[in-house]
A and B are shown apart, each in its own frame.
Chain A
Amino acid sequence: MNIHTTPQRTPAETALIDAFSDRLSLLPGDGTVMLKRDDAIEAIKSGLPTRRIESWHYTDLRRLLASVPDFDPAAAAKAIAPIVEGSAVLPVLNGVSSTKLPTVDGVAVQRLSEKLTDGSAAPGLDPYGTDDAIGALNTAFVADGYFVDISDGTELDKPIELQNLQAGGQTHVRLGVRVGAGAKAVIVERQAGEGAALVSSVSQLLLGEGADVTWLIVQEQPDTATHLAQFKAHLGKNAKLTLFVMNAGGKLVRQEIVVKTTGEGADFTLRGINLLAGDTHTDVTMVLDHAVPHTASTEVIRNVVTGKARGIFQGRINVHQYAQKTNAKMACNTLLLSDDGEFSTKPELEIFADDVVCGHGATVTEIDHSHLFYLMARGIDEKTARGLLVKAFVAEVIEELDDEAIVEALEARLDGWFVAHG
């Protein structure tokens, strides 16, 4: 139990610490940035999180991260077609941003390496909380990415697609987006590749007053990759954010979602689909802070677990003392389709204000036999019937997105996954 132990450094911890000294001279950054990198590597030196750290209870990173690949300067990832035709694509290939960038009216794009070099990216490198291992890993090694500024009042008619693509080795990328007051945009974050890479990716989003953003995270790493990602957002007054997360790949995946409502009237919607097959370990952890009065949030997560997959959803809603009139609802539903699969969920409510309506629900079940019977009684064979029911279970979440092009694109990816794993 709580017996004192002095842990030995794991091979992965040693590899990360060694890689840092090797890479140090190559990493961009002014004095402030480099000091933050030093702090971050110190955090890694004190050990990767274990299940004793509450927020990592189900993902013992120290044990699960058995080894870390070396940086591979020869790795060459290729850009891919955007999920919605006509999107402005900003690719990061093997951790390096592109010099040739598309021009979109009202949108300014900067390479993150430049912002690290001049130190203007430094404030965003701070960790949140004491258990921010992904933040630390990324801050220590991040070399590139993008910073996108969407000016006040800009309404984009086509999505911006940020691609983080890997072909092995290690990539550490940061994507920052500021959306000005009253601006409206759809942003797609693609996480994919072909190699057995270690990927860390941190996205930061700042929403100005009345901004309206739909952000899609589509994670389709190969089943050999380790994908550690974080999405952080601040919602200003009357800002609206719809975040859609789809995890359909990766060997060891942790997607953190850290959202704070900082302006009254802010509205946050999270819709998530986790399609888990093979022996993936996929963890989606959300921390949502209602910090001011009159804000609302709803979260719906749907999980499908097959094979030997292990899925986790942790969702914590914090309602601060002054955040009266908060309305927060969370649901996490899981279909467990195989006896070797498992799913753990921890939906938490931490409430310090009294005039609130907060609730959460969570279920774990197999396919409803009566539904299956209903379909099979109509002459549909079992495999097709099961497929229909599973698809209906997750598609419900996608259909809530009101952009038809996006709904179609996501449903196509869903079908692709079912063909490969159904």
Chain B
Amino acid sequence: MPAVQDTIDRVRKIDVDQYKYGFQTEIAMDKAPKGLSEDIIRFISAKKDEPSWMLEWRLEAYRRWVTLDEPKWARVHYPKIDFQDLYYYAAPKSTPGPTSLSDVDPELLRVYEKLGIPLKEQEILAGVQKTDASELEEPSDNVYKSGRVAVDAVFDSVSVVTTFKKELAQAGVIFCSISEAIREHPELVKKYLGSVVPTSDNFYATLNSAVFTDGSFVFVPKGVRCPMELSTYFRMNEKNTGQFERTLIIAEEGAYVSYLEGCTAPQRDENQLHAAVVELIALDDAEIKYSTVQNWYPGDAEGKGGIYNFVTKRGDCRGHRSKISWTQVETGSAITWKYPSCILRGDDSSGEFYSIAVSNGYQQVDSGTKMIHLGKNTSSRIISKGIAAGLSQNTYRGQVSAHRKATNARNFTNCDSLLIGDQCGAHTVPYMEAKNATAKFEHEATTSKISEDQKFYVMQRGIPEEEAIALIVNGFVKDVIQQLPMEFAVEAQKLIGISLEGSVG
């Protein structure tokens, strides 16, 4: 297994609490004043050149938000966040909507190169092919070419560049920043924005609705299979800045899209806030696959700094026979509060959730999913693997419910936790609610440490302890890794190895 060997090599090279992506970049920034008020929202909306309906939508969310309290039910503990002590808008100065890569600040491009996200299109093919983007053969319709990934790069509050736009447009796929979509495709945004996660949904979603600054917008029209993987790369750079991105993905009848999301942030002593909202809409026979590798700065070995990640992600299987699949690898963030969910509204629709959550140091993870069965013959599958090490707390919290009319709803849930060390905690909090006699729900959960027998077996073959553990852990998470697109799978395995560094012994 070369990937495992690779993980081990990388783990060796790195000391504890050395976050690879912790550098920060000096880039001239355009910022709104600190704090949150209706004026700030007007400022953001004006900066983005938004139509008035969008501003009204934001203001309505803001007015609701001021009446709300922060949710307290999750098993995470942190000092109270002062929402007036944050910048809600920060954008690199030189980007009045870049149209091509040559317009982008070279400093910015270097940031993404350093992160291993080469934005120059010829380099996107994982450094294998060195063909210029324009020389690539025209894509024939509905042919998926593996290995090519279109990237939307979001730097603090704005999207700096989106690649492969032209080629995607030929297939009819719209892939752009949400700000651009609000300007260019208002009818689509108006129709779908907030239809899955309404502005009144929860404290952080409401906050996001008021102040979201950017994010990605994907629209795959009827019958189109998106010709390449789409990806967004989020980078938080500025100090004291909250990142509030909004992603909206729509797959029309029979469409298919696979979307990847990655994120990193510099190493800082202060905590930074990230409150995103992701909405997925799948119409009849459509399929959306959403993969996340979350690697925000987790804080240092003493638990200082790190990102507070409060994210609302929800998919709506609105059409019959539609399918939404969430795959997540969570290794970063000081606090993760995230429950990617599926509303199985259409008959015969299905939802999937595959998750690996690794916590080490002082990280706190409270993550899981919701599968809401509303339509007939709907099915869902949940595979969650939690790995807790160091002094971390790792919670799976999930809900499966079958509505009265959800005849033949079917769910299978499996959540396993692995504990490494006796100072960490692993918790499982599943909710199962069946209101239909034909529903069939199965849930199983186990918690254990790495079995001495397994370790002995591996070590007895001359493999040192740390490598043995890496091997067993990679085996433990295999079911989920298999669901990731290939490029991400390798990355995810490496990340897990690095996250667990220093936990052995």
Given contacts A324-B422, A350-B425, contact A366 B432 (CB under 8 A): no
Query: Is A21 close to B, CB under 8 A?
Result: no
Bits for B420-451, please: 1 = Cβ < 8 Å to A, else 0: 11111111111111111111111111111100
Q: Which residues of A contact B421 (CB under 8 A)?
A: 354
Query: Known interface pairs A3-B67, A360-B445, A365-B440. Does A351 touch B427 (Cβ–Cβ under 8 Å)?
Result: yes
Which residues of A lie under 8 Å from residue B453 when comparing CB positions? none
Give A365 to B377 CA distance when docked, in angstroms: 14
Residue pair A4, B434 in contact (C-beta under 8 Å):
no
User: Which of A64-72, A159-167, A335-343 lies at the interface with chain B?
Assistant: A335-343
In whole angstroms, what is the CA distance A342 to B446 when docked?
Answer: 26
Q: Taking the nearest CB of chain A, how far is it from the CB of B85, in angstroms? A: 21
Q: Which residue of A lies closest to B432 (CB)?
A: A345
* B53 smallest CB distance to A (angstroms): 24
Inter-chain contact B432/A354, CB cutoff 8 Å:
no
- Number of A residues near B (Cβ < 8 Å) is 39
| A366–B437 touching, CB < 8 Å | yes
Whether the pair A342, B444 counts as a contact (CB closer than 8 A) is no
Residue A409 lies at the interface, judged by CB distance under 8 Å to chain B:
no
- Most interface-central of B71, B73, B447 (chain A CB within 10 A): B447
Which residues of B in the span 378-398 have a Cβ within 8 Å of any Cβ on A? Answer: none
Taking the complex as formed, is A6 at the interface, i.e. its CB lies under 8 A from any CB of chain B?
Answer: no
Instruction: Give chain B residues whose Cβ lies under 8 Å from the Cβ of A345.
Output: 431-432
Question: For residue A357, which residues in chain B have a CB less than 8 angstroms away from its CB?
Answer: 446-448
Q: A342-B433, A350-B425 are in contact. Are A355 and B447 (CB under 8 A)?
A: no
Considering only residues 355-405 of chain A, those with a C-beta below 8 Å from chain B are: 355-366
B474 on the interface (CB 8 Å rule)? Answer: no
B26 CB contacts on chain A under 8 angstroms: none
Q: Does A74 contact B (CB under 8 A)?
A: no
Q: Which residues of B contact A105 (CB under 8 A)?
A: none
Per-residue CB proximity of B270-304 to A under 8 Å, as 1/0? 00000000000000000000000000000000000
A1 and B445 form a contact (CB under 8 A): no
- A324 cross-chain contacts in B, Cβ below 8 A: 422
Beyond A3-B67, A4-B67, is A363–B435 a contact (Cβ under 8 Å)? no
A2 to B447 alpha-carbon distance, docked (Å)? 33
Count of inter-chain pairs, beta carbons less than 8 A: 123
Q: Check A2 against B417 for contact (C-beta < 8 Å).
A: no
Assembled-state Cα–Cα distance A355/B449 (Å): 6
Nearest opposing residue in chain B for A341, CB measure: B437
Say yes or no: A348 contacts B444, CB within 8 Å.
no
Judging by beta carbons under 8 Å apart, are A347 and B443 in contact? yes
B27 lies within 8 A of chain A by Cβ: no
Does B419 sit within 8 A of A, measured CB to CB? yes
- Verify B434–A352 contact, CB threshold 8 A: no
CB A309 to nearest CB in B, in angstroms, measures 12
Q: Which chain A residue has the least Cβ–Cβ distance from B414?
A: A361
Chain A residues in 8 Å Cβ range of B258: none
- Tell me if B68 and A1 are in contact (CB < 8 A): yes
Beta-carbon contact of B440 and A359 below 8 Å = no
- Interface positions, chain B 203-238, Cβ under 8 Å from A, are 203
Is residue A321 within 8 Å, beta carbon to beta carbon, of the partner chain?
yes
Answer whether residue A109 sits at the interface, using C-beta atoms and an 8 A cutoff. Answer: no
Give Cα A372 to B439, complex, Å.
17
Q: Among A4, A321, A334, A360, which residue has its beta carbon within 8 angstroms of that of B428?
A: A360
Most buried by B among A54, A324, A351: A351
Asked if B18 CB lies within 8 Å of chain A CBs, one says no
Q: Complex Cα distance A57/B417, Å?
A: 25
Known contacts: A2-B71, A54-B73, A344-B433. The answer to whether A349 contacts B438 by CB under 8 A is no
Residues of A within 8 A of B71 (CB): 2
Which residue from chain B places its CB closest to the CB of A337 in the assembled complex?
Answer: B437
B200 in the interface (beta carbon within 8 A): yes
Interface residues as binary, B66-78 with A (CB distance below 8 Å gives 1, 0 otherwise): 0111110100000
State A344–B425 Cα separation when bound (angstroms): 26
The listed residue with most A CB atoms (<10 A of its CB), out of B201, B202, B437, is B437
Interface flag for B48 (CB, 8 Å): no
List residues of chain B with CB within 8 A of the CB of A83: none
Partner of A359, one of B429, B431, B446: B446
B120 at the interface (CB under 8 A from A): no
Q: Which of B73, B417, B428 contacts A348 (CB 8 A)?
A: B428
Instruction: Establish whether residues A351 and B441, one from each chain, have CB atoms under 8 Å apart when the complex forms.
Output: no
Within 8 Å of chain A (Cβ to Cβ): is B31?
A: no
Cβ B437 vs Cβ A336 within 8 A: yes
Instruction: Evaluate contact between A344 and B432: CB separation under 8 angstroms.
Output: yes
Cβ-based interface call for B404 (8 A): yes
Chain B residues contacting A341 (CB-CB under 8 Å) are 437
- Residues of B close to A351: CB separation below 8 A: 417, 419, 425-427, 447
Chain B residues closer than 8 Å to A158, beta-carbon distance? none
Q: Is there contact, CB below 8 Å, between B444 and A2? A: no
- Is A365 a contact partner of B441 (Cβ separation < 8 A)? yes
Complex-state Cα separation, A338 to B437, whole angstroms: 6
Q: Is A353 on the interface with B (CB-CB < 8 A)?
A: yes
A299 to B412, CA, bound (A): 21
Nearest CB to that of B395 among chain A residues? A350
Q: Which residues of B contact A352 (CB under 8 A)?
A: 424-425
Using CB atoms, name the residue of chain A closest to B448: A357
The closest CB in chain B to the CB of A345 belongs to: B432
Q: How far is the CB of A313 from chain B (nearest CB, A)?
A: 10
Known contacts A337-B437, A351-B417, A354-B424; is A359 also within 8 Å of B447 by CB?
yes
Known: A349-B427, A351-B417, A360-B443. 14 other contacts (CB 8 A): A334-B434, A336-B439, A337-B437, A344-B432, A346-B432, A350-B427, A351-B427, A354-B422, A354-B424, A360-B444, A360-B445, A361-B443, A366-B438, A366-B440
Q: Mind listing 8 A-B residue pairs with CB under 8 Å? A: A1-B68, A2-B70, A344-B433, A346-B429, A354-B419, A354-B420, A354-B421, A360-B444
Closest 4 interchain pairs by CB?
A354-B419, A359-B446, A342-B435, A364-B434
